[in-house]
Structure 1
Amino acid sequence: MPHDVDVLIMGDHLPLYAHPGDAGADLVADEAVVLGPGERATVGTGTAIALPEGFAAFVVPRSGLAARDGITIVNAPGTVDAGYRGEIKVTLLNTDRDHEFRVERGDRIAQLIVWPVSRAHFVPVDSLPGSHRGERGFGSTGYRGVPTEGELE
């Protein structure tokens, strides 16, 4: 069941959900920017929010911009903490090697996802409990790099 939360907001452009059931609300640019091939720029949205304790907002790329134009976000997802009150800015990257990309004021440049978060209590221990995966692998597919001699057998 969806969990609605009130988020206080200041700015000229409210993030909007394009369709019912969407997880991300569109953020728009508050300034015009030209990104040359391979260039990045931090683009203001003119939007500031106040999240309740226990929530964070995550700024993520728009799939249409990524697929159509090669535009992504350098630090995706960007994290907006509950205590942050400044303008939400998005660091866009043009991954296209040949074409510039123009951002106009009011263009949808990213999505904002508001999510409940837990605060971890880090407990120092001398050893960790075992697990099926253990220390094997890097990443979800278990990439290990170059196999050692014992692993080749």
Structure 2
Amino acid sequence: MKVKKMHPDAVLPKYAKKGDSGFDLVAVEDVVIEPGETKLVKTGLAFDIPEGFEIQVRPRSGITLKTKLRVQLGTIDSNYRGEIGVIVDNIYEDAGIVVEEQGDMCRVNTIKGDTDEVLGNYNVTSYIIRKGDRIAQGILAPVVRAEFKEVDKLSESDRGSNGYGSTGVKYTEEV
């Protein structure tokens, strides 16, 4: 698949290990995300996605498990040629505790589970994504397109219109 660097520091995508389904999407700039904020993290990359495919942007499990950052699922259509961005939420509730500046620098949480110094005055539950951090993964997936036909009635099924938890949470072997 053709990839264009839109920024000189962009990192070309690669699969971390043989057998991985997702390739790394890497931040091209530092981004501080305050509690309750949503930010777009740029990758500096654009793709020439083959017709009949999409790139699905997905979270990295380690970031989801170890931080309060949530990468939002995204779809990159085959006809899009702009820079790929990753939408990231900081779901921490604002504790209202601000770290006092020490000179011009302040310590902020990182996605690696430690803290790092940044310019400014930030909440203790802020996060910094550093340039070069692997922030999300991309999955190249086939797209099936449907033709839609309006009808007065849908076919019957065992489930019918029961949804939203109607099958319960306890595992059963009935199929």
Q: Same fold (TM over 0.5)?
A: yes
Contact kept in structure 2, 1:32 and 1:104, CA below 8 Å: yes
Query: TM-score, normalised to structure 2's length?
Result: 0.72
Residue 116 of structure 2 corresponds to none
| Of 9, 12, 18, the match for 2:3 | 9
**Counterpart for residue 129 of structure 2:** 103
* SS of corresponding position for 2:66: helix
Per-residue deviation, 1:96: 2.8
Name the structure 1 match of 2:88. 92
Question: Does the Cα contact within 8 Å between 1:62 and 1:72 map onto a contact in 2?
Answer: no
Map 1:64-75; keep pairs closer than 5 Å: 64-73=62-71
Q: How many residues align?
A: 134
Which runs of no fewer than 5 residues in structure 1 stay unpaired? 1-6, 145-153
1:136 aligned partner, one-letter code: N
Q: 1:85, 1:143 → 2: CA distance?
A: 42
Bigger shift: residues 46-55 or 30-39? 30-39
Shift of 1:143: 7.4
Could you report, residue by residue, the CA deviation over 1:89-109 in whole angstroms, capped at 9, with x for unpaired residues? 111111233521111111111
CA offsets 1:69-126 (integer angstroms, 9 cap, x no match): 12112xx320000100000011111123352111111111110011011011111212
Correspondence list, 1:31-70, <5 A: 31-70=29-68
Q: Distance in 2 between matches of 1:110 and 1:30?
A: 12
The runs of 5 or more residues in structure 2 that have no matched partner are 96-124, 169-175
